[in-house]
Amino acid sequence: MTPSADNPEEESVGHSVHDSAGTGLPATRAEAARVPAQTRPAEMGPGRSAAAPCARGEHTHGEPSPQARPVQRASVRGQILDALRAALAAGELEPGEVYSAPALGERFGVSATPVREAMQRLALEGAVEVVPNRGFRVVERGARELADLAEVRALIEVPVLLRLVRTVPPERWAELWPLAEDTVRAASSGCRAAYAESDRALHRALLSLSGNEQLVQIAEDLHRRTQGPLLGGPARTQRAELLADAAQHTALLDALIAREPERAAILVTAHFTTGTA
C-alpha cells in the first residue's frame, strides 16, 4: 500500500515490524484477529459477536472460516475494536511487536482508518503505544505489572463488594447467575478471549449494584489492562486455570446471595490474588 502524505504511519513497516507475509500479522496468527467480512446483525443472532475469535469454535489460524463476510460499514469501527481487544486477550497480537494500520486493515478487509481509530482507543487504554511513522506496538507487561494492577483492582472492588453484601438483597445477586454461568461456559471452551469478555461482564454487573458509574468505568479500565498478553509467558491460559477462575465467581456469588461477608471477603481477596483474568 502506498503511504499517503497526511498519514505517515501508513508507510510500510520495516523488518523490525512483525510481518511475515506483508500483512502486519504473523502468518500463523494473523487470522485470529480477523473479523467476519460482512456480518449482518440478523445473521449474528443473540450473544454472537466478532469480539472473540475462538468463542464459537472458529479457526484462529490458517484459512478464515467459510462463514466470514465483510462487516457492515455502520458498525465496522466497533467490530474492529472488539476484534483487536479479543486478539490481544488471546495473545494473537504479541507483546513488543509493531503492527501497521494499513496491513491490519488489509487483513480485516477494511481501510486503515477504522483500524487506526481502534488502535488510538487501545492506546488510551494502555494496551498499545503509538510508534510514529510505523504503527502501534503492543505494550509489554510483565508479571510484576499485572500483579500491581490486580492489587489496585482489589483495593477498589473488594471494599465495594463487602459493603454491598450487607445492603443488596439476595434476589438482586441471584439475577447475576446467568453471567457467572457464562464465565464457566467460556472457561470450558478454553478460549481466553471469550473468557475475558464474560469475566468483565460479570465484574461490571457486580459493581454496577453500587450505582457508582465512575467506579464501574475505572474498574473496567483496570480490568482490561490486566487481560493483555503476558510478556515471556504462554500465549494462552490453560483451560484448567480458566475453570478455576470461573469457579471462584460462582463461589463468590453464593456467598453474596447468602449474605456471608466473612466468606465473601476471603473469596474475593483470593480471586484477585490467584485469578487469571
Cβ proximity of 109 and 213 under 8 Å: no
> Over the range 89-127, which residues count as b (16 or more CB within 10 Å of their CB) and which as e?
bbbbbbbebbbbbbbbbbbbbbebbbbbebbebbeebeb
Predicted confidence (pLDDT) at residue 234 exceeds the cutoff of 90: no
Look at residue 11 and give its three-state secondary structure.
coil
Segment 138-180, tens digit of pLDDT: 988 778 888 888 899 999 999 999 999 999 999 999 999 999 9
pLDDT band at residue 190 using 50, 70 and 90 as cut-offs: confident
Is the pTM for the entire model greater than 0.85? no
The amino acid present at 1, given as its one-letter code, is M
- Which grid coordinates belong to 146? 499485572
Residue 45: exposure state from Cβ atoms within 10 A (0-12, 13-18, ≥19): exposed
Domains of the chain: 8-138 (1.10.10.10), 143-274 (1.20.120.530)
Cα 225 to Cα 240: distance, rounded to the nearest angstrom: 22
The amino acid present at 139, given as its one-letter code, is V
Segment 8-58, tens digit of pLDDT: 443 333 333 444 334 344 333 334 344 433 333 333 333 333 444 553 333
Cβ proximity of 187 and 245 under 8 Å: yes
pLDDT of residue 93: 86
Cβ proximity of 44 and 72 under 8 Å: no
Instruction: Compute CA distances 137 → 12, 95, 123, 160, whole Å.
Output: 15, 8, 9, 35
Segment 262-276, tens digit of pLDDT: 999 999 888 887 766
Q: Which phi and psi angles does 134 have, rounded to 5°? A: -130, -45
pLDDT of residue 30: 36
Residues with Cβ < 8 Å from 187, sequence gap 6 or more? Answer: 195, 239, 242, 243, 245, 246
pLDDT of residue 276: 60
Segment 89-103, tens digit of pLDDT: 877 888 889 999 999
147: left (phi over 0), alpha (psi -120 to 50) or beta: alpha
Average model confidence (pLDDT) across the chain: 75
Cα 143 to Cα 133: distance, rounded to the nearest angstrom: 30
